[in-house]
Amino acid sequence: MILTGAFMFLWFGSFFFIMSGAKQSNAPPPAFFVLVPLLWLLFMGTWITVLVVAIVYGIKAGRGEWSEYPLLGQLARKLLKMGPDGSTVPA
C-alpha cells in the first residue's frame, strides 16, 4: 500500500510538474511521453506483485499453514507475542 501511494504521488506530481513547465503550445512536452509510461509500468508491477503475494498467502491460509508477512512478519509476531505455530508465548 505504501509503494502504491508513493507511485500515485509520483504519477500525479510528475504530470503536474511536466505540464506546468510546458510552454503555451498544444503539444505536450517530450518528457511526458517518457515519464508517464514508466510510472505506469512501475504501478502495474506493484499491483501484480501484491496480487501474487495475496494469492500465495491465501493458499497457505487455506491449507492451515502459518506464515509470516515478507517484511513485517517478525515484528508483528513480537508485538502479538506469538510463536512460530501461532501459539502465545509467555511473557
Q: According to the model, what pLDDT value does residue 24 have?
A: 64
Q: Is 38 helix (H, G, I), strand (E, B) or coil?
A: helix
Helix 30-63 × helix 2-21 angle, to 10°: 170
Can you give the pLDDT at residue 36? Answer: 77
Reported as a single tens digit per residue, the pLDDT across 13-35 is 877 777 676 566 666 677 778 87
- pLDDT score recorded for residue 33: 80
Contacts of 74 (CB under 8 A, 6+ apart): 68
Q: Mean pLDDT, the chain, as a whole number?
A: 79
49 has a pLDDT exceeding 80: yes
Predicted confidence (pLDDT) at residue 38 exceeds the cutoff of 70: yes
Query: Which pLDDT belongs to residue 67?
Result: 77
- In one-letter notation, the amino acid at residue 22 is A
